[in-house]
Chain A
């Protein structure tokens, strides 16, 4: 019995973690309109001082947003933008931008 419970818990965990970690692409796309004003359509910014987000690493984007919200990473513009973002919003946005074509790994 105990073993069954353990297996059920393990399965439940296995289902729940990836969902949480991945975010939702369509939701991210819908939420990205605010970001587009500076970071460009689909995260391809045309302003040199604003980073391109398209193709950036998903967990790096998520980490950056978290750090802006906590104040660990300081930027007057981004500090204001992230205040209204929930953890789920950040995951959605990070997933959406990571799936766009743009940045790439360069040796």
Chain B
């Protein structure tokens, strides 16, 4: 009984959890990076406007956080002129794919 209930619970949890996590396709994301790479793919690249600082490193970042950032740029909640323009042109699927790509192959310490 216990085993059956636990298996059922696990199955339901898996069914709920897997589609959300698998939403982004890193291979599809890699094909969509052309707009990102011009800044985020160049060592030492800095923003030019409205203030100057290094663009953030994306490699190894959490996919959920990248998606949240892109959505915030698109909605205007987070403001940066370049990122608003670029995120504004992305669909939810594009965001998931790009996030999956940048999040993949993290080689830093696991904690």
Contacts and interface: CB of A to CB of B under 8 A. Distances in A.
A60 B56 contact: yes
B57 A56 contact: yes
Contacts, number: 91
Interface string A38-64: 001110111111111011111110110
A107 B77 contact: no
Interface stretch (A10-18, A22-30, A96-104): A96-104
A52 B54 contact: no
B51 interface: yes
Contacts of A103: 56-61, 108
B93 to A, nearest CB: 18
B111 interface: yes
Nearest to B54: A57
Given A57-B53, A57-B56, A60-B56, A50 B78 contact: no
B100 to A, nearest CB: 12
Nearest to A103: B57
Chain A's interface size range is 20 to 34
A105 interface: yes
Contact of B58 (A41, A45, A106): A106
Interface stretch (B1-9, B62-70, B84-92): B62-70
A41 B54 contact: no
Nearest to A52: B61
Contact of A44 (B40, B78, B111): B111
A22 B106 CA distance: 27
B61 A51 contact: yes
Interface of A: 40-42, 44-52, 54-60, 62-63, 72-74, 101-107
Given A51-B65, A73-B79, A103-B108, 15 more contacts: A40-B111, A47-B62, A48-B62, A49-B62, A49-B64, A51-B61, A51-B62, A52-B61, A56-B56, A57-B55, A59-B53, A59-B54, A60-B53, A72-B79, A102-B60
